[in-house]
Structure 1
Amino acid sequence: MKNKFKYLIAAIAFLGLTSCEDEQDLKFISPEGTFSIITPLNGESIILNDATPSNPGISLTWSAMDFGTPTEVTYTVELAPAGSDFSNPQVLTTTSNRFATIQTAQFNLACLTAGATPFVASPVDIRIKATVGVGFEPAYSSVLTYTVTCYGCLGQFAVGAGLPAAGWNWDSPVSLICDDNVLMATVTFANDTFRFFTEEGNWGSGRNYPYYANDGYKISSVLENAMDGDSNFRFTGNPGTHRIKIDENQKFISVAQGTTSANSLWLVGAATPGGWSWAGNNETEFPLVKAGVYESILTLTSGESFRVFLGNNGGDSWDLGSRNYPYYVGEGYTISPELINALDGDSNFRYVGSTGLRVLKVDTVAKTITLN
């Protein structure tokens, strides 16, 4: 019995020594030195083309990362807004190679998501993350700042009690479809509050009334700051179906009553963006925004004239009726001093304010014509 006990003690001692030797021999893999992106060079640029979505948007090569022992390294290409700390990077691809090519469509979307302005040269930051497995410290390359001119734009979303079909949740948000940096949607409004969001389901991506006002946007008169603690939008027009537009090129948010332009008036003239022409979409819609109130947000050219037309048949609509300056004077309207009688034979309106984006409103109830 004593001998068996001695053998047990010896076996335990042997296992203990073996365990100590294994711990001494164990090596934790850790980065040694640094590595960097070789191509493209920092500060280089590209213009992306929507006609070739499968073409390379960016092709990268980088040096090897040394972890101090032979092992397979996994490289991850990350993209983030320029000047950020990569706190929430986008992953473009993962590979065991030291090169990667990202197609135009994927790269364009990633850059837009990172805040690049469509059709404007915008910087983004790119880096490579090197890892050798779970639990080991990753290594990062130097940061490449790359200038990208994107195309298209990202859709946005809206929720709130002012949009009854959506409400204040993400079950059925309003989707605003983007085309060349102009976002549009047909919605049913109630006299309540709502907010725009750049990412579905992300409350932190919200854009309230002051966000746009402080960025210089002209905003429809039926949308106001709710002053509700979150400074959401409040809709003050007639409840019902409206078309809403966020033009991020000219910086305005407009509202039009109804699903179509059937009840709209039209602006044509040299003072308007389309000039004296009905070709294409040269005429400017002058829609109802609430009962008896027509409003359009447009760039007016100083010293030039225009006229209000009553209809649009899809072509030249000169004969569908129009209203000039004397018509409104004869009806007893108070007219902005920046609008005068052009005295041009047709007595059109002449705009004498500074050239710029203006909110033109004709209130047929209050009988006023204003410019803001």
Structure 2
Amino acid sequence: MKNIYKILIAFIGVLAVSCNADDVENRPVIQPVTAPVLLSPKNDFNIVLTKDKEKEIATTVIWDDAKYDGTQTVVNYTIEIAKAGTKFAAPVAVTTTTARFKALTVAELNSALVNGGFIEKQENSVDIRIKATVGIGAEAQYSNFYTFKATPYHTPLASSHWLVGAATPGGWSWDGDAETEFPLVPGQTNIYQVTIVLKSGEAFREFLSNDFTSGGNWGANNSHNYTYYSGLGYTIDSELVNAADGDSNFKYTGPTGPRVLKIDNVAKTITVD
């Protein structure tokens, strides 16, 4: 009787394996027929991205559907970008959808560009295409591509301070990321340093936060001036003096050019090298 049970179990096992093999062999093959066709954006698209508009729509990517032979299934479309002329050797996936269009916000496009190694605050040439995929193991199809131009903005660190004033490249303005980021030294929690082109004979001020609007954060409670630091006993570089302009801003008296500005709140020093 035991032998009969063993034979029966073995037979059922062989039957199950056979059925699974048949399922794999009989599984319908999905073959690519027509690749998606990218319609927009085209080569004439050019955009300057700014953080104060990050929730707005930068562009809507539109394409014609891809077609496949075989059992009907959902087609996934991935928007890919790459540096122009690289033949998508290292594409960046912006987003994936099952629709045939996708509205990209300024923040979404900027994030993809920055993550893809495009240069911030400079115009870049960007190749864009659509990748279509279905199921598992089916061959991907790629659309035609266009090359557009985009200028991504810098994504600042939350811990950074900011420099604004006529002595800085952006002047007395917060418009279009005109302010200069003044970040912490890596690994430090209270030492700020930046390489910046300072203009001789002009003033600037340090701001503690930034709401990334054109109005900026002008409040006195949000900034430090020359007398704030001198009053705390900081040793201040001789090329920085009190501007005596009614706001006691810093005035830079050294030669115009790239300088390394450092505020060390541990050693209580402000240096210009």
TM norm. shorter chain > 0.5: yes
Aligned-partner residue type, residue 73 of structure 1: V
Residue by residue, what CA displacement relative to the aligned partner does 1:207-244 show, whole Å, maximum 9, x if unpaired? xxxxxxxxxxxxxxxxxxxxxxxxxxxxxxxx996321
Residue by residue, what CA displacement relative to the aligned partner does 1:168-214 show, whole Å, maximum 9, x if unpaired? xxxxxx96578658442345xxxxxx79xxxxxxxxxxxxxxxxxxx
Alpha-carbon offset, residue 36 of structure 1: 2.3
Q: Is the 8 A contact 2:84 2:126 kept in 1?
A: yes
Alpha-carbon offset, residue 26 of structure 1: 4.3
Q: 1:272 maps to what in 2?
A: 200
Residue by residue, what CA displacement relative to the aligned partner does 1:13-66 show, whole Å, maximum 9, x if unpaired? x99999998777544213224332111113421233444332211101112212
Alpha-carbon offset, residue 93 of structure 1: 2.3
1:175 to 1:86, Cα distance in 2 relative to 1, 3 A? farther
Q: Is the 8 A contact 1:30 1:136 kept in 2?
A: yes
Distance 1:136 1:295 in 2: 69
1:3-82 paired onto structure 2 within 5 Å: 26-69=27-70, 70-82=72-84
Q: 1:357 maps to what in 2?
A: 257
1:186 to 1:99, Cα distance in 2 relative to 1, 3 A? closer
Q: 1:315 aligns with which of 213, 228, 246?
A: 246
Residue by residue, what CA displacement relative to the aligned partner does 1:258-306 show, whole Å, maximum 9, x if unpaired? xxxxxxxxxxxxx7162xxx5878xx98x9xxx989376xxxxxxxxxx
Q: 2:191 maps to what in 1?
A: 242
Aligned-partner residue type, residue 185 of structure 1: P
SS in structure 1 opposite 2:144? Answer: coil
1:272 to 1:18, Cα distance in 2 relative to 1, 3 A? closer
Aligned-partner residue type, residue 113 of structure 2: C
Q: 2:143 aligns with which of 141, 146, 150?
A: 141
Distance 1:20 1:243 in 2: 65
Q: Is the 8 A contact 2:57 2:104 kept in 1?
A: yes
Q: Is the 8 A contact 1:279 1:316 kept in 2?
A: no
Matched, 1:104 2:47: no
Distance 1:292 1:54 in 2: 43
Distance 2:247 2:66 in 1: 68
Aligned-partner residue type, residue 56 of structure 2: N
Distance 2:192 2:254 in 1: 29
Distance 2:152 2:92 in 1: 17
SS in structure 2 opposite 1:41? Answer: coil
Aligned-partner residue type, residue 39 of structure 1: S
Aligned-partner residue type, residue 242 of structure 1: I
Q: 2:183 maps to what in 1?
A: 185
**Could you say which structure has the greater relative contact order, defined with CA pairs below 8 angstroms and 6 or more residues apart?**
2
More helix by share: 2
Alpha-carbon offset, residue 118 of structure 1: 3.8
Distance 1:155 1:295 in 2: 30
Q: TM-score, normalised by structure 1?
A: 0.43
Q: Is the 8 A contact 1:118 1:149 kept in 2?
A: yes
1:294 to 1:141, Cα distance in 2 relative to 1, 3 A? same
Aligned-partner residue type, residue 140 of structure 1: Y
Greater alpha carbon shift after TM alignment, 136-145 vs 116-125: 116-125
SS in structure 1 opposite 2:114? Answer: helix
Q: 1:114 maps to what in 2?
A: 116
Q: Is the 8 A contact 1:114 1:124 kept in 2?
A: no
Distance 2:161 2:130 in 1: 33
Q: 1:218 maps to what in 2?
A: none
Q: 1:294 aligns with which of 237, 241, 255?
A: 237
Distance 1:102 1:88 in 2: 21
Distance 1:107 1:63 in 2: 21
1:97 to 1:177, Cα distance in 2 relative to 1, 3 A? farther
Give me the CA root mean square deviation: 4.9
Distance 2:116 2:138 in 1: 28
Alpha-carbon offset, residue 86 of structure 1: 4.3
Distance 2:178 2:118 in 1: 13
- Percent identical pairs in the alignment equals 25
